[in-house]
Amino acid sequence: MRSKRLYTAFFVMALIGIPSVVLAFGSYQDAFDVLYPKAGVGLIGNCGICHQGGGIGNGGQRRNGYGTAFAALPHTGTSTSLAITKIEPLDSDGDTFTNLTEISGKTNPGDVASKPAKILFVDNFRNDSATGASVWQQAGVWSRAGQVLTSSELRVDRALAKPPAGNGALTFSTGVIQTKFNLNAIAVPTPANASIIFGFVSATQYRFVKVTTSQVSIGQVGTMGNDTAGTKVTRPVNLPLDTVHTMKVVITPLGKVSVFINGARAAKATFTFTSNATGKIGYQATKSKTQFDDFLSSK
């Protein structure tokens, strides 16, 4: 009977001991959260910053690179915050971004698969001879006046950029393309329209996201891979003329294309992706005096 009570006492002590271990690790987490209050939902209160697998109470799990770098320094009591600050310049997970860059960018400094987007190409059209000029390949007539790129309204105007090689940009089959656009009231008689072009092989083979004031569509010109020409999906939108809107096209490695207009998901479709795309991405406007600005592609 007595041995049973002893066993019970040890069992209770063991139970009490577990929270104290979690608390110890919690104090490191608290210091992190106080240092980086803007780190965001993905990092605040996330054991996976320091430990493989993440999850509550996984203090026993193996440390990742960031956790190892932290543990290698004096890190108890008042040293906790100092240790976290000291490892800011390191790239503990080897994904080429420093720990501080990752925390500021809301990605995990201990997870090589979590890293900030790499900007492949950007053009704000503020300088006729800068960034974009040498890489945009144009069809139709475009104007760069007023620090925006404006199509002619008389024909099919297509402006294509080829992000420089590197960062996996050679064939742009996955990544993010963003732009601002303004559907101009001058655009008659064809309904004002603006397109993002991607998966470009030639003028008769490419993919597009096209918006008008009332709809967004995702489709393809010509046959590529297992996809035939035509519009894959059309969804209603309400985009007033003479207003600057934003469009973001996210293309995943599995060929899923998601379109966000003014920050809200507007349409999605799935393509098969072929390896023969040239990597060119850009704009198109069909008989429409459309303005584009702040083009950005990232990976």
Q: Alpha carbon 96 to chain centroid distance?
A: 17
How many Å from the N-terminal Cα to the C-terminal Cα in the chain? 67
**Candidate list 75, 115, 162, 289; residue touching Ca ion; CB under 5 A:** 115
- For residues 293 and 150, the answer to whether their CB atoms sit within 8 Å is no
Regarding 123 and contact with Ca ion (CB under 5 A), the answer is: no
Integer CA distances (angstroms), 113 to 15, 48, 94, 97, 105, in order: 35, 12, 10, 11, 14
Q: Which is nearer to Ca ion, 73 or 100 (CB)?
A: 100
Q: Which is nearer to Ca ion, 114 or 150 (CB)?
A: 114
Q: Taking contact as CB under 5 A, which single stretch among the options 7-15, 34-42, 111-119, 250-258 is the one that binds Ca ion? A: 111-119
Q: Taking contact as CB under 5 A, which single stretch among the options 39-47, 68-76, 106-114, 141-149 is the one that binds Ca ion? A: 106-114
- Report the DSSP beta bridge partners of residue 57: none
Q: Which is nearer to Ca ion, 115 or 210 (CB)?
A: 115
Task: List the one residue out of 125, 129, 97, 122 whose CA is nearest residue 112.
Answer: 97
Q: How far is the CB of 114 from Ca ion (least distance, A)?
A: 4
Go through the chain and tell me how many residues it has.
299
Q: Taking contact as CB under 5 A, which single stretch among the options 87-95, 139-147, 209-217, 241-249 is the one that binds Ca ion? A: 87-95
Q: Which is nearer to Ca ion, 91 or 227 (CB)?
A: 91
**Candidate list 29, 46, 114, 212; residue touching Ca ion; CB under 5 A:** 114
Helices (H) and strands (E) in the chain, counts: 4, 14
Q: Which is nearer to Ca ion, 68 or 246 (CB)?
A: 68
Regarding 50 and contact with Ca ion (CB under 5 A), the answer is: no
Residue 135, judged by CB atoms within 10 A of its CB (0-12, 13-18, 19+), counts as middle
Q: How far is the CB of 65 from Ca ion (least distance, A)?
A: 8
Distance CA 285, CA 196 (A): 9
For 192, list phi and psi in degrees, rounded to 5.
-55, 135
Angle at 114 between CA 111 and CA 115, to 5 degrees: 120
**Candidate list 32, 51, 65, 95; residue touching Ca ion; CB under 5 A:** 95
Regarding 93 and contact with Ca ion (CB under 5 A), the answer is: yes
**Candidate list 25, 67, 91, 216; residue touching Ca ion; CB under 5 A:** 91
**Candidate list 36, 97, 142, 206; residue touching Ca ion; CB under 5 A:** 97
Regarding 66 and contact with Ca ion (CB under 5 A), the answer is: no
Which residues in this chain contact Ca ion in the complex, by CB under 5 A?
91, 93, 95, 97, 102, 111, 114-115
